[in-house]
């Protein structure tokens, strides 16, 4: 099969490492013809695209674009982009590399709060040998807001560690061993008494500012917040108040309203806010290419794509 006959796919991403993707396609999907978007090249005739930070004018240069694979978690910038023609299907990334790295990050932060390892780091700075006790995992209430591909994987992992795990999402889901709540009418029941709250919600009009004083009030005294959704979901002033009053013990934040987080932002210096620079999860080029290859094979065979974003719903 010549290069001309292979389905083409455009990589248009100002932050991507081209060599890594070349290698991944060569190794995993030699049946696909990877074309790098230079910002000038004619891309007509190519039906597939991959991007996280697209080059300007991408959609004009791809008049035949049918499916756009988003190389990260969260599609809010794409579903809201009026320059993406309505017939283009925006596909959310569901691949093991992204899922595993998010599971690693959230579990690490949950254990950080469950075992209060961050207190030990503070104690080390003062050369203090302290005593610590902690409950069994089944006596620790952990909740995951947002049950998409990542939220389900995270909730399942926390359950497998024995935590008393619950989840909440817009529509009802079933996850083995996890108590699932859904819809606005069940959010208070979900939140009541949670000791560790993980946010993995998509950013929509409904979730903007959702992590606020009303939510924090329902959590157990001393609860911890882990936000790996989007920065705009957090009411920053409400978080600082809840920490400073002692109602919340600590917060781990990977996402921020403004990124990079400005040097003067108070989050950097708060002793009980743990800032990580939006790196909780990242796609693995090899497993992402495998996922894209499978989707394209489905599409070329006339089957529907999976994980297509709903532009009206916003995710």
**From 36, 81, 108, 179, residue interacting with its own copies (rule: CB under 8 A):** 108
Task: Show contacts with its own copies in window 149-188 (CB under 8 A).
Answer: 161-162
85 or 266, CB closer to its own copies? 266
Spatial separation of the C-alpha atoms in residues 214 and 94, rounded to whole Å:
32
Place of tokens 């190794």: 27
| Cβ atoms 35, 72 nearer than 8 A | no
| 124 belongs to the binding site for its own copies (CB under 8 A) | yes
| 114 belongs to the binding site for its own copies (CB under 8 A) | yes
247 or 270, CB closer to its own copies? 270
Q: H or E segment at 273?
A: strand 273-275
Instruction: State the CB neighbour count (10 A cutoff) for residue 22.
Output: 14
Separation in Å, CA 163 to CA 54, 111, 166, 212, 304:
40, 10, 9, 25, 37
We find the least distance from the C-beta atom of residue 53 to its own copies, in angstroms, to be: 14
Residues serving a catalytic function are: 230, 278
Structure tokens at 119: 């207190």
Structure tokens at 159: 């359950």
Spatial separation of the C-alpha atoms in residues 285 and 24, rounded to whole Å:
6
Report DSSP state, residue 154: H
Instruction: State the CB neighbour count (10 A cutoff) for residue 160.
Output: 12
> Residue 156: which of 174, 138, 183, 135 has the closest Cα?
174
| 279 belongs to the binding site for its own copies (CB under 8 A) | yes
Contact track, its own copies, 31-70, x by CB under 8 A: ----------------------------------------
| 72 belongs to the binding site for its own copies (CB under 8 A) | no
| 19 belongs to the binding site for its own copies (CB under 8 A) | no
Give the interface segment with its own copies, choosing from 58-66, 217-225, 242-250, 259-267 (CB under 8 A): 259-267
Spatial separation of the C-alpha atoms in residues 263 and 240, rounded to whole Å:
17
We find the least distance from the C-beta atom of residue 27 to its own copies, in angstroms, to be: 13
| 245 belongs to the binding site for its own copies (CB under 8 A) | no
**From 275, 297, 305, 308, residue interacting with its own copies (rule: CB under 8 A):** 275
238 or 286, CB closer to its own copies? 286
Site of interaction with its own copies (CB under 8 A): 97, 100-101, 104-105, 107-108, 111-112, 114-115, 117, 120-121, 123-124, 127, 129-134, 136-137, 161-162, 259-261, 263-265, 268-269, 274-277, 279, 282, 284, 286-287
């Amino acid at each position: 099969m010549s290069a001309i006959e292979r389905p083409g796919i455009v990589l248009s991403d100002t932050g991507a490492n081209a060599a890594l993707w070349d290698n991944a396609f060569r190794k995993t999907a030699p049946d696909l013809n990877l074309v790098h978007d230079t910002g000038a090249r004619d891309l007509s005739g190519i039906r597939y695209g991959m991007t996280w930070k697209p080059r300007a004018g991408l959609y004009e240069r791809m008049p035949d674009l049918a499916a756009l694979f988003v190389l990260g978690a969260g599609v809010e910038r794409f579903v809201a982009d009026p320059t993406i023609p309505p017939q283009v299907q925006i596909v959310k990334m569901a691949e093991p590399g992204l899922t595993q790295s998010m599971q690693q990050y959230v579990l690490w932060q949950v254990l950080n709060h469950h075992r209060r390892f961050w207190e030990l780091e503070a104690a080390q700075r003062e050369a203090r040998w302290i005593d610590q006790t902690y409950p069994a995992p089944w006596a620790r209430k952990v909740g995951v807001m947002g049950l998409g591909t990542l939220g389900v994987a995270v909730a399942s992992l926390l359950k497998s560690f024995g935590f008393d795990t619950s989840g909440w999402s817009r529509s009802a889901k079933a996850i083995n061993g996890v108590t699932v709540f859904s819809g606005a009418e069940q959010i208070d029941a979900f939140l009541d008494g949670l000791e560790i709250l993980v946010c993995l919600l998509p950013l929509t009009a409904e979730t903007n500012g959702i992590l606020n004083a009303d939510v924090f009030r329902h959590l157990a005294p001393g609860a911890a917040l882990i936000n790996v959704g989007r920065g705009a979901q957090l009411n920053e002033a409400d978080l600082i108040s809840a920490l400073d009053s002692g109602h919340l013990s600590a917060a781990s934040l990977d996402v921020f309203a403004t990124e990079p987080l400005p040097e003067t932002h108070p989050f950097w210096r708060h002793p009980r806010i743990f800032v990580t620079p939006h790196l909780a999860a990242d796609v693995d080029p090899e497993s992402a290419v495998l996922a894209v290859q499978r989707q394209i094979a489905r599409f070329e065979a006339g089957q529907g794509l999976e994980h297509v974003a709903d532009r009206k719903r916003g995710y």
